Chains A and B, each alone.
Chain A
Amino acid sequence: MRGFPAALVLLVLAPCAHGAGTAQSLVATTAEEQGLWQRVAEEQAALDRSGFVLEEPELEDYLQAVVARLATADGLAEDDFSVKLVRDPTLNAFAYPNGRLYIHTGLLARMLNEAQLASVLAHEMTHATHKHALKSQRSLKTKTGILQAISLSAPVAGDFSPLIDLLGVYGTAAAVSGYSKGLETEADEVGWQRMRKCGYDTGEAPVVFRVLMADLSEHARKEPFFFGTHPKLADREKNFARLNAADKKHTGGEKGEERFAQATRRVLLINGELEMRAGRHDAARDQLWRYRVADPSSVRVRWLIGENERVAGAQGDPAEARKLLEEALAMDETFAPAHRSLGILLYRAGELAAAAPHLRRFLDLDRTAHDRAYIEAYLEKCEPTPPPAPPAPAS
């Protein structure tokens, strides 16, 4: 474990009842399966070098600890599973057949505790342990068949080639289409059992899917992914609720709220900025304010909340933006992005004299800013060059 505090890793792992006997490994047993693993390893390598996979060692260590806890409780080799975080505000998590899981920052940012995270990871791990990709590949025969299945099953029409460029064919199939209803139900059931063996509160499993459904409805959002699709989320919620209802010995279990909040709070900051840049200003506002509560001394979050209000147009609040940007600069006068945002906000409000010092300070602090030429042009309008003085009369 690299950055995630060892004590917290131990806290994640502590309640875990180890499965009896030798850990069971994920193995590609046939030539067909070995071929599939080789292909998905190539897809993973492309995804990992795409620039979309976050390098946040502490976060990865935490996610890895949760997966290890789920694996060991069920007698699985924890090293067979790994988790990576994708910088993307949409709702998505998926597994490759070799045990590599990916989760989008957008999905993680909407979760409230570790039990909710465990419910999604345990579901995804089951796709790997129960060889769902291999079973699906057999039924579809060819990659063209998989591509057609993606188009037919996708919740929104569109061109999936950019997604395939990032996730590969197998990754896109897992992320967009998921698997057959029977295999998805199996992933829910086995995932639920793994959660329960670990002592997680299985009551949180249906909750996370309700949270995601409410989020999609509230923002009238259409997303291409399995976990961004109302009917698929409703199926998960229904399955987990059914399993909980049938579990008479259910005693609550662990939610892991504080540990989750501490370990994943940076996701709120990272994803909040992505939401802002994607124009999802409500979601950005929600996540950035949650981060501010967790880290009240952050200058960056004040800037981002202010910037979100500034760029949100009619949905934004310029007065709030100004207040937060001024707060950020009161905390750290050398924080260049806040000078830029405040300078532009004042410039557009016609307060040219007030804008000028911020625009100038931004240029002084960030000498490599890519939008320097625009700021210089604004500054010229704020501080027009005085006309040259008339020549002194000859004496």
Chain B
Amino acid sequence: MRTHASSRSARTGVLTLGLAALLLAGCATVEPTWVTDSATPQTAKKIGVTASVPEGWARFTPDKDLVMTKDGFLLQTIRITRRDYGSKIENTDRTITQGMEDQEAAQLLLDAFAADQSRHNLQIVSNTPATIDGRPGFRIEVTYKTPEGLTIHETAYVALVDDSYVIARYTAPDRHYHEMHSGAFEKVVEGMKIGPMPGKKG
């Protein structure tokens, strides 16, 4: 579609500039690299989370989060992040707070997803309690369409840790890609180790 292609190209320009800035900034510190070693668990030191890179996948570094893909971020992405309780969640004035019930935190995230203007026609596939590295949490699974009409399938695990919460998300096009790699994502979450949040007193 002409308009979306146009807006995409404009956004691509912005993204390219952003990436260039990121790369330039990176030159001053550590050069970004792809880590493909699936035998050695990878730790994102800034968030104190360790996970293994699935075989044939690569982790993009440096990054404060753990970000992995096999064929490129548009085709499948695993992103593990950590957030402070009380930090702002986009598209809502609500926050996940310490001691919040798993059901309530899950509903909050689903409400935020539903209000996200990038996620068209959001459908909830499943929403269940889960245990991640022995921590209480939940697993939510949704599908939505991009403005271009591509259906995306997203699975997210959220671990409610003492000092913060950890989100592991797997995003891929619904058709073909999501199912093909969902097993790899589940294994990443199964082996994920959550340490104390660096810089916080345990």
A residues contacting B by CB (< 8 A) are: 38-40, 42-43, 46, 49-52, 88, 143-144, 147, 161-170, 274, 277-280, 311, 313, 344, 348, 370-371, 373-375, 377-378
Contacts and interface: CB of A to CB of B under 8 A. Distances in A.
A162 B92 CA distance: 14
A161 B118 contact: yes
Given A39-B6, A168-B7, A277-B114, A49 B126 contact: no
19 contacts: A39-B2, A46-B1, A50-B147, A51-B122, A88-B115, A143-B6, A144-B10, A147-B11, A164-B11, A166-B117, A166-B120, A167-B117, A169-B7, A277-B92, A277-B111, A278-B92, A278-B115, A344-B103, A373-B129
B92 A165 contact: no
Nearest to A219: B93
Question: Which of B2, B11, B145 has the most chain A CB atoms closer than 10 A to its own CB?
Answer: B11
A50 B103 contact: no
Contacts of B145: 50
Nearest to A35: B2
Main secondary structure of the interface of A (DSSP, over half): helix
A286 to B, nearest CB: 15
Interface residues of B, number: 39
Contact of B146 (A39, A52, A147, A165): A165
Nearest to B9: A143
Interface of B: 1-4, 6-7, 10-11, 13-14, 91-94, 97, 101-104, 106-107, 111, 114-118, 120-122, 124, 126-129, 138, 145-147
B146 A371 contact: no
A42 B91 CA distance: 25
Contacts of A166: 117-118, 120, 147
A50 B11 CA distance: 20
Contacts of A277: 92, 111, 114-115
A168 B1 CA distance: 12
